[in-house]
Amino acid sequence: MEVGEVVEKNFLRPIDNTSVVQQVIDRLTYAMIYKELRPGDKLPTEMELAASFGVGRNSIREAIKILVSFGVLDIRRPEGTFVASGFSDKMINPLLYGIILDQSDSIDSLKELREWVDFGILELAIEKAEPEDLFQLEEQLHKLLAEIDGGDAHKIFIADDEFHEAISTAAHNSLLGQIAKLVRTLTSEMRITTIRNMMKLGKGNELKKAHEDLFQIVKRKSDSSARQLLVEGYFYRYNVLRK
């Protein structure tokens, strides 16, 4: 199938009238999951989809609008509507809001999620980091160390985020990298509180050493102490998550 070709497959069968917009969304989503629609494919027109599904054009239009807002579809005027190619930051939003609005409100769950994702990223970086990745990671490390010396918690937080983004880049897994970005967003308050309290406690040197050690295990491709270093680098032993 050529990119941009209009596809006519199983997903174009009629649907019933219950939650029509959601069913249209589900039908298009499953078509992408089962590769009936692929990145870059052009969708049939609203009129064609409405006829195939047996629903009104307003339902088709609303479903497409939602999928566009999620970054799943692209509207290119005057060509038509296409399945997106590649990742869009907009795709993070539905999952992000879902987790934010979760009723459990468990800081322990966030801590465990952070550890699980960070360690997965670190393992891949240890295995796959290339010389250019190490160069960029070392550059971000030097920036972070300088900000720690400066003592501004907000600037340290930004530099810390860029350092961990460099580790994600070194892992060479775009899907896991996006998950890591989501987790960093979700744990922003936790991370800035940690940094602020570490500086208040006069633990700037410990903050520096933790990141220097992370850099060294990626550089030396030695994962024997990776998890221990990672967990210790959260500084929970200092009760840093108190307000």
Mean pLDDT (the chain, rounded)? 87
* Chain-centroid distance, C-alpha 219: 24
Same domain membership, residue 107 and residue 80: no
Q: pLDDT band at residue 8, thresholds of 50, 70 and 90?
A: low
Report the CATH number at residue 170: 1.20.120.530
Q: Is the pLDDT of residue 89 over 70?
A: no
Which tens digits make up the pLDDT trace of 176-216?
888 898 888 888 888 999 999 999 999 999 999 999 999 99
DSSP, collapsed to helix, strand or coil, labels residue 70 as coil
The reported pLDDT for the residue numbered 3 is 47
Structure tokens at 89: 């930051």
Q: Residue 5 domain-assigned?
A: no
> In 3-state terms, what secondary structure has residue 80?
strand
Report the DSSP pairing between strands 73-76 and 80-83: antiparallel
- Alpha helices (runs of H) in 11-106, residue ranges in sequence order: 20-33, 46-53, 57-69, 92-100
Domain's final residue, options 59, 86, 113: 86
User: Can you tell me the mean pLDDT for 57-65?
Assistant: 95
Average pLDDT in the 6-14 region?
A: 62
- Residue type for position 5: E
The predicted structure's pLDDT at residue 174: 87
Contact yes or no for 37/46 (Cβ under 8 A): no
- 82 with 185, same domain? no
What range defines the domain where residue 233 resides? 92-238
Q: What is the four-CA torsion angle of 89, 91, 92, 96, rounded to 10 degrees?
A: 140
In a shared domain, residues 97 and 202:
yes
On whether both 155 and 46 belong to a single domain, the answer is no
Number of domains in the chain: 2
**117 plus 234 within the same structural domain:** yes
Query: For the whole model, what pTM was predicted?
Result: 0.69
